[in-house]
Amino acid sequence: MALVTYNPFDPGWTHLSSETRMVSNAMGASGAWVADFLIGFFGQATGLIPFLCLIEASMIWWPRSYVSPMFRRIGYVFLLTIVAVICFIFIDQPTDAMSNASGGIVGFEIGRSLVNVIGVIYATISLGVMIFLLATLCFGIRWLQMIRSVWQWPVALKEMLGYSTQKTIQKAPVKPVAVEAAEPQTIDPPTEFDSQNFGLNDFESHSTALEQAVAKHEHPHEVSQQTATDDFLRGFGMADETKISIPNLPIHPTLETEVPAMIRLATEQAEYVAPESISQPVPDEIPEHTSWLAQHRDWKAKNQAAEVQPPVSAEAEKPAVPLEEPPEADVFDRLFQSLGSSTSHAPPKVNPPPVESVSSSFTGLDVFERAVSSLDKASAKPAVPVTFESLQADFVKVDSPSLVTVDLVEETSAVANDFEEDSVEDDVLVDANGRRISHSFATVEKRKDLSPLPSMDLLDRPDPHRKVSYSADELRSLAQLLEIKLKEFNIKAEVVDAQPGPVVTRFELDLAAGIKASKVTGIARDLARSLSMASVRVVEVIPGKPYIGIEIPNVRREMVRLIELLETNEYRDPKALISMAMGKDIAGRPVLTDLAKAPHMLVAGTTGSGKSVAVNAMLLSMLLKYTPLQLRLILIDPKQLELSNYNGIPHLLTPVVTDMKDAASSLNWCVGEMERRYKLLSIFKVRNADAFNQKVEEAIANGEELIDPTWKVDDYAIQQTAPRLKPLPMIVVVADEFADMIMQVGKKSEDLIQRLAQKSRAAGIHLILATQRPSVDVITGLIKANIPTRVALRVNSKIDSRTILDEGGAEYLLGHGDMLFLGPGKNEPERVHGAFISDDEVNKVCDAWRERGSPDYVDEILTPYDDDTEKGQGRLLEDGGAARDAMFDQVVSFVLETRKVSASAIQRKFSLGFNRAARLVDQMEEAGIISPMGANDEGGMAQSFDAIYQRALKRKGGEAVLNQLMPTILSPTELANIGDDRYLSMMTKGINQAGFHWQVIENKWPQFEEAFYGFDVERLAHLPDEAWENYLADARVVRNWQKISALKENVMFVRQLAQTHGSAGRFFADWPQDDQFGLLQYLKKHGSRLGGMTGAFFLRRMGKDVYLLSADVCVALQQAGLDIPQNPTSQKDLKAIGQLFNQWHQQTQLPYSHLSKIAAYSVGENYDADYILEKMGQDES
């Protein structure tokens, strides 16, 4: 395929190509390079290579050849060279091609020299003779037989099609030879051999094989039959290769008497039934195996002794009556049945096995001996001597064909019987009076014997035989090599120290005077290439030292086990509130941290970087040190796989959360719990949960009972007494992929995370947030500001590294636990190799905790926080206000209909209390539905749209002119039919026009289309990072990295919409028309740089019915009585505007885009209609 799809414009060895990224070869870049190499050296002779491969593959079916494989393959090379020379001599190339194009470099050089010396004619003759000799010597072609076989092809074709053309070959009769005069004769081997039935054929024919041997002895001059097909194939050196040379073997004199007796017995004019043809199930155990082997050994000894005895007459061996079946016949019978024999009235068909000598016709018994030795060893019967007469029992003489009745042996299963686990009762626990103790009490008694914490022996130990990565000599050599490579880049430095770690080795370098560390950082990639390393990381500042560091990957990575970190004094330190093991640093020293001091942690890394393993190591570090009274967990697992092993452990406050709505409820409960704890801390006048716990423990030790001061009797339906205070456990919330949670739940979860990150440290609530999507829309600036402790595993680009750490470096990590850890209170990240934790270790620890107790779940955690509640504690709206009343929508409808806005009117209409009615009026005022309350305690409705419409009609000169000024909107079907590339194109145009005059980008837009491949989503989605960076030097586009990066992210956004909804157009068409605020928020959250007016302009240009908040529209809204600023940006103001436009739409049934246009035309400068139409022709929005 690489040769067939060769394209000279692909990259290659022999030419320069302008296109380095797009390869047309079907086998990719590697195929292009290989094809270019072969064609460059051998030219058009490379067309012979597939045929040579076919010949080599055919040797799998005809493996025997006159020529050794190595000699044959050398012949291929010479043949390829000769054909290349012939191609150079006789094939002309176009004038624009190189002179060596037809025969390649090899054909050009050899052919030119050969033609110059002996000329074209003699060169052709010489090459033809060489091809003839190569075919004869290297491929074993017999030319005369091949010519002869050509005349036999019709006969061979008939044989292949199934027509027999074999001739019967007469055999010359030969007189019997006396025993004394017997001479060694030739026994031809059989032409067919069934390897699968070798043992069975031996057993079935262990008597008839002698008959076959005697037949061969009587006709020693029988000629093997040959077919025309054999002659045809022999011409190509194939047919004779399958023949096996068998020497002339002598026939033993003993067989001269024993074999004829067997023949006469087998050819009697009576009908015989083979005992082995009777089908019978084989039992699992045959106790006669051992005894039969002993009998078989005795028979072999007697048979050897019989060689020196006189021959026995055949008549003496013939029995007078049917023989009784001996024990060994039963063994044969059972074995035949297990191999699948069936009931028959005739002797079975015998396929004679290959015979080396007459005495070897019983070699099947040796095979059977090996087969029997692998079965059951039991032996129940004594050994019975076996004589040669027992062989005659294989064919029993009967008067008429009939079946031999055999008692069936009961079948036994090959699978061991399942035993009852409860068949043996456990010791029953009884009390002092002998009464049985319940299962629950027995469980409690069992748990008393268990240690409070699981043993660390559950974790795997490190390999005691692991080797160091570099020896002292290797480190010295590598340091010298590093200095030499730096000199090649004009950097003079001296290696002063080397610190080998588990994954990388850091070399500390003393730079010469005047050399900046940034210069070394700039050549990191080139230095890695020159050292043949995967990556090299430069550490510009080493605290406490005047040196820089260069970290080089080790040849052999050391696996860090968690138990190595947990057996340190730092982990056992009782002052640490939440100890967590992180890994080992560059020097191999354990690195641990205290989450209570962190107080939150952010973990980010791409797929395969070891993020889930790092989270598991942190969790096990906590589970092996703290009891459920000291630590409680809330685990959020959107993937439903990573944290499922922890279900059922007693530390959990709720089952592992997999539904993201429940995740938001869990975070909201944490916010409420944080507020409750802060009230307790304030009442007890302490500053953190640890100090509060000390006070409570002292009170309990002194026998004092502390009542919970935050308890209210109205909050509980059953409990009528205040609970006693207990020490507050630390709460750790672990979200394995919080980016999925933010994408599904939206702004709500982000706001809750921000509140917890800001305030929950003193309350003893801590967050561990992990994500594999470290983008700015997930890890926002506010989250980063409140989570200073971060772990950056390997990421894809420097941009992602800067998002996590505010600096580069994470893109050079090696993956599988290699991380940069920015600990609490540190300014520079530290390179750490995380501990490895297997699923088996996690399951062991979790099972140990399940034995020690069951979880005590808090039911209120999963209560939806957006339900109608009177308390509203921690249950917030999206804008941060308190939850609305359940009657809010009904009251708004009443106010719109009656135009009565007063607490007393609402109170009378809905039979509400005054406080609740007043609260509803306040909520409508906050939403912008009504104007602020006046002195008479009544508010006014926002101005009707009728006044705005009449004013616009008057300013523009009538309804006909106003209708001409309205924008064009598309139906949902038309929106759905627009391609994804057009949506992406319009997004990019709006983003690039921000900050430029729109006409500049409009004139340049065809070049944008060309540069970005017509905004083909799939093609742009597979561009490498280098291609995106190259756009910074592309004059066809706006060379602004932020806008190019926004396009890169919007490509994935549109692609995700297409995968989820079928197309981006279907998504926008299906979005509810009355929820423009939600759509703009979605674009802001999931798209890039699509917030504010950019998103609204994008939707208007695509033809979706949306309103725009221009300066004139905001003035019109203010004149209508809506209390908003001149430039509204808060969610509260935007929601009020959306509600007002929804009301106007319900009143007038006008499109939203027409409403905003009319509102804009009702105020501001009154431009002429023709001028407006001219502008609309340039930009309709």
Instruction: Identify whether the C-beta of residue 753 lies closer than 8 Å to the C-beta of residue 768.
Output: no
- Please indicate, yes or no, whether residues 668 and 808 belong to a single structural domain of this protein: yes
Identify the pLDDT of residue 162. Answer: 53
- In whole angstroms, give the CA distance from residue 575 to residue 751: 32
| Of 315-319, 322-326, 763-767, 924-928, highest mean pLDDT | 763-767
Question: What count of other Cβ atoms lies within 10 Å of the Cβ of residue 1156?
Answer: 25
The amino acid at residue 160 is M
Q: How would you class 493 by CB atoms within 10 Å of its CB: exposed for 0-12, middle for 13-18, buried for 19 or more?
A: buried
Encoded tokens for 1054: 């549109």
**Cα 849 from Cα 998, distance rounded (Å):** 65
Helix (H, G, I), strand (E, B) or coil at 1015: helix
- The proportion of the chain whose per-residue pLDDT surpasses 70, expressed as a percent, equals 66
How would you label 570-595 residue by residue, b for 16+ Cβ within 10 Å and e otherwise?
bbeeeebbbbbbbbbbbeeebbbbbb
pLDDT of residue 46 exceeding 60, the answer is yes
Name residue, tokens 């009355």. Answer: 1074
Residue 1018: CATH number of its domain? 1.10.340.30
Alpha carbon 233 to chain centroid distance? 51
Helices (H), 285-352: 289-305, 314-317, 327-338
DSSP string, 445-474: HHHHTS-SS--GGGSPPPPTTPPPSS-HHH
1161 is a domain residue: yes
Whole-number pLDDT of residue 441: 53
- Does the residue 193 lie in any domain? no
Q: Which of 123-127, 355-359, 428-432, 767-771 has the lowest mean pLDDT?
A: 355-359
**C-alpha–C-alpha distance, residues 297 and 286, integer Å:** 18
806 and 768 housed in the same domain:
yes
Please check whether residues 773 and 845 belong to one and the same domain: yes
Per-residue confidence at 986, pLDDT binned at 50, 70, 90? Answer: very high
pLDDT, tens digit (0-9, with 9 covering 90-100), for 542-570: 888 889 999 888 888 888 899 999 988 88
The most confident of the ranges 263-272, 343-352, 920-929 is 920-929
Report yes or no: 775 and 1086 within 8 Å, Cβ to Cβ.
no
Closest CA to 29 of 699, 1056, 714, 1024: 1024
C-alpha 441: how far from chain center? 46
Same domain, 915 and 972: no
Q: Residues 568-608: pLDDT tens digits? A: 888 988 888 889 999 998 888 899 999 988 899 999 998 88
Q: Of 354-368, 371-385, 714-728, 864-878, which one has max mean pLDDT? A: 714-728
Distance CA 383, CA 485 (A): 83
pLDDT tens for each residue of 1128-1169: 888 888 888 888 888 888 888 889 999 998 988 888 777 776
Whether 760 and 616 map to the same domain: the answer is: yes
Phi, psi (degrees; rounded to nearest 5) at 859: -65, -30
Question: Which sign, positive or negative, has the C-alpha torsion 74, 76, 80, 86?
Answer: positive
How many Å from the N-terminal Cα to the C-terminal Cα in the chain? 53
What confidence tens digit (pLDDT) does each residue in 619-632 have? 999 999 999 999 99
Same domain for 983 and 840? Answer: no
**Beta-bridge mates of residue 636:** 657, 735
The verdict on 908 and 969 lying in the same domain is no
Q: Would the pLDDT of 319 be above 90? A: no
Give the sign of the dihedral formed by CA 303, CA 304, CA 306, CA 307: positive
Q: Given this model, what pLDDT does residue 341 score?
A: 41
Q: Is residue 147 part of a domain?
A: no
The answer to whether the beta carbons of residues 816 and 608 sit under 8 Å apart is yes
The CATH number covering residue 933 comes to 1.10.10.10
- The answer, yes or no, to whether residue 650 has pLDDT greater than 90, is yes
Segment 748-757 mean pLDDT: 85
Cis before 650? omega within 30: no
Nearest residue to 735 (alpha-carbon basis) of 666, 808, 834: 666
User: What would the two tokens of residue 1176 be?
Assistant: 């609309």
Q: How far apart are CA 1012 and CA 251, in angstroms?
A: 89
pLDDT of residue 893: 75
Residue 914 has pLDDT above 80, yes or no: no
The answer on 634 and 590 residing in a single domain is yes
**Residues comprising the chain, all counted:** 1181
What CATH number has the domain bearing residue 676?
3.40.50.300
685-744: pLDDT as tens digits: 999 999 999 999 998 888 888 888 887 765 554 556 778 888 999 999 999 888 888 878
For residue 508, tell me if it sits in a domain.
yes
Tell me: do 932 and 954 sit in the same domain: no
Which among 365, 227, 379 has a CA at the least distance from the CA of 297? 365
615 pLDDT tier (thresholds 50, 70, 90): very high
pLDDT of residue 184 exceeding 50, the answer is no
What is the average pLDDT value for the chain, to the nearest integer?
73
| Band of pLDDT at residue 415, cut at 50, 70 and 90 | very low
By DSSP bridging, strand 493-500 and strand 272-273 are unpaired
pLDDT score of 878: 38
Q: What CATH number did the domain enclosing 488 receive?
A: 3.30.980.40
Q: Which one is predicted more confidently, 710 or 347? A: 710
* Tokens found for residue 730: 């630390």
Instruction: Give pLDDT, residue 1009.
Output: 92
pLDDT category of residue 791 using cuts at 50, 70 and 90: very high
Number of domains in the chain: 6
Q: Is 305 exposed, middle or buried (CB count within 10 Å of its CB: 0-12, 13-18, 19+)?
A: exposed
User: Does 847 map to a domain?
Assistant: yes
Full residue range of the structural domain in which residue 919 is found: 877-941
Q: Are 578 and 594 in contact (CB under 8 A)?
A: yes
Q: Which helix (H) or strand (E) holds 1048?
A: helix 1041-1061
pLDDT given for residue 435 in this prediction: 54
Q: How many CB atoms lie within 10 A of CB 1136?
A: 24
Query: Higher confidence at residue 1129 or residue 170?
Result: 1129
Task: Report DSSP letters for 532-561, one per residue.
Answer: T-S--EEES--TTSS-EEEEEE-SSPPPPB
Alpha helices in 702-764 (DSSP H): 738-745, 747-759
* Residue in the structure block whose two tokens are 């080992």: 584
Categorize the per-residue pLDDT at 318 as very low, low, confident or very high, splitting at 50, 70 and 90: very low
pLDDT score recorded for residue 634: 94
Helix (H) or strand (E) holding 115: helix 104-139
- Is 695 domain-assigned? no
Residues 490, 604: one domain? Answer: no
Whether residue 382 sits in one domain with residue 327: yes
- If one counts every other C-beta atom within 10 angstroms of the C-beta of residue 1055, the result is 17
Rounded distance between C-alpha atoms, residue 943 and residue 730, angstroms: 54
Cβ burial of 1050 (10 Å; 0-12, 13-18, 19+) is buried
1101 part of a folded domain:
yes
pLDDT at 808: 84
- The answer to whether residue 446 scores a pLDDT higher than 60 is yes
Q: Is residue 834, in this structure, part of any structural domain at all?
A: yes
Q: 937 and 960: one domain?
A: no
Spatial contact of 569 and 552, defined as CB atoms under 8 Å apart: no
Closest-CA residue to 123 (of 133, 131, 114, 132) = 114
Q: Take residue 428 and report the two structure tokens written for it.
A: 């029953």
Q: Which is more confident, 163 or 516?
A: 516
